[in-house]
Structure 1
Amino acid sequence: MAYPSRPPPAPPAPAAPPAQTMGSSNTVFNTETRFDLSYIKTPPGVIKIVVIVFNLIGFICIQSSAFWSNGRGVYFNIVAHLGLWFSAILLACYLFHVVERYHNIKWLKIEMIGYIVLVFLYLIASTIVVAFGAAAYSAAGFFGYLAMVLYGIDAFLKYKQLKAGEPAQGHKVVAKQTHVVTPPALP
């Protein structure tokens, strides 16, 4: 007796392709110049304020010394003034949202390079005034070293922001959309 052959099993239904997630990001800039104190509550804002204070204290220490006209003190004061003006102008630009208004300028790169230069200038300036041996020079060197460390930290923060593609000022809005591909209808 012959057994009827079984029909071959039906092929499995094609699996639905996985849902695809696609995203896009937009950066929103408010190009209106306005005064906003919220920046001084951020870590870069606090660093800028503290470093401005350290620059001023270092400058005052050198100027109050009997050796204020020594070449070492003059060099330290030049570095302190460079740091003071660079940081103060950038702080004002952030407080008045000039950075956001002119967002096409590479602000993060400018800040990072400026801070790296100031780190090396302060390393030299603080070392030569501490080596002089006067008490006021040693105090100025101490504040110079503190400013150097803070400039280095801020340069690192700017580097991280550059690598992450973040804007210097403004809001990055990320929108994700999920696209589902439906399989073709079965016959």
Structure 2
Amino acid sequence: MVSQAQDPPQSMGSTNVVFRTETRFDPSYLKTPPGMMKATVVVLNLLGFICIQSSAFWSNGRGVYFNIVAHLGLWFSGILLLLYLFHVVEKYHNFMWLKVEMIACGILTFLNLIASTIVVAFGSAAYSAAGFFGYLAMVVYGFDTFFKARAIKEGELAQGTRVPAKQVHVTTPPAMP
């Protein structure tokens, strides 16, 4: 007869996800790394746009393309920042927020690389300043893309709380006859 070693009791645990579905303003999101990155790219895109618009060559095709990319980034990141600040992302938690953000940030990284390179190559001081802000935005979008990909891989939530719930198993002795 084969003797079976008794396995130690296993603790079973699970995690519960808690979503608060009411919208509320929460400025503490700006202190998190994703919040700081979104606020940073909003400012960088705005500064790049101002540099191009203040140039004498604002209507040049290179400047127009840079402004289109800056506006895309400004509107995308600005709207997402507002959605996170008001917990709309948590309210609509079934949507693939992290995946959409990762793809959009990856595209904006590439677009900022192209836009910044062509305005820096133009040679105007205002265009070079805009290119500098565009390159900084490109780096921040690149980091954001990386962090979003890692969050997706680890199964993180876009917004919400995971609460570990432990189940306690109690072993009772057999009843007396």
Please point out which of 52, 64, 71 is paired with 1:81: 71
Q: Which residue is 1:92 aligned to?
A: 82
TM-score by length of 1: 0.86
Structure-2 residue corresponding to 1:117: 107
Q: How many Å apart are 1:170 and its aligned residue?
A: 0.5
Tell me which residue corresponds to 1:39. 29
Question: Could you tell me which amino acid in structure 1 is paired with residue 34 of structure 2?
Answer: P
Partners of 2:167 and 2:154 in 1: CA distance:
21
Aligned residues between the structures: 172
- Looking at structure 2, the residues matched to 14 and 115 of structure 1 have their Cα atoms a distance apart, in angstroms, of 55
Q: Percent identity?
A: 73
- The residue aligned with 2:10 is 20
- TM-score by structure 2 length? 0.91
Q: Look up the match of 1:71.
A: 61
| Aligned with residue 59 of structure 1, among 49, 65, 90 | 49
Contact 1:67 1:73 (8 Å CA) reproduced: yes
**1:15 Cα deviation from its structure 2 partner:** 4.6
CA distance in 2 between partners of 1:50 and 1:15 (Å): 59
Specify the code of the residue in structure 1 equivalent to 2:11.
T
Counterpart mapping for 1:130-141 below 5 A: 130-141=120-131
For residues 38-73 of structure 1, the C-alpha deviation after alignment (integer angstroms, 9 at most, x for no partner) is: 100100001111111100100000001111000000
Work out the CA distance in 2 between the residues paired with 1:158 and 1:23.
Answer: 27
- Unaligned ranges ≥5, structure 2: none
In structure 2, what residue type is equivalent to 1:119?
T
2: CA distance between counterparts of 1:74 and 1:23?
56
Any idea what SS the aligned residue of 1:158 has?
A: helix
Which structure has the bigger radius of gyration?
1
1:179 deviation in Å?
Answer: 4.7
Measured on the aligned residues, the alpha-carbon RMSD in Å equals 2.0
Shift of 1:20: 1.2
Q: Post-superposition shift, 1:155?
A: 1.1
Contact 1:19 1:181 (8 Å CA) reproduced:
no
Corresponding position of 2:96: 106
For 2:171 and 2:142, locate their aligned partners in 1 and report how far apart those are by CA, in whole Å: 49
Please report how far the alpha carbon of residue 28 of structure 1 lies from its aligned counterpart in structure 2 after TM superposition: 0.3
Instruction: Quote how far apart the aligned CAs of 1:177 are.
Output: 3.4
Give how far 1:18 is off: 1.5
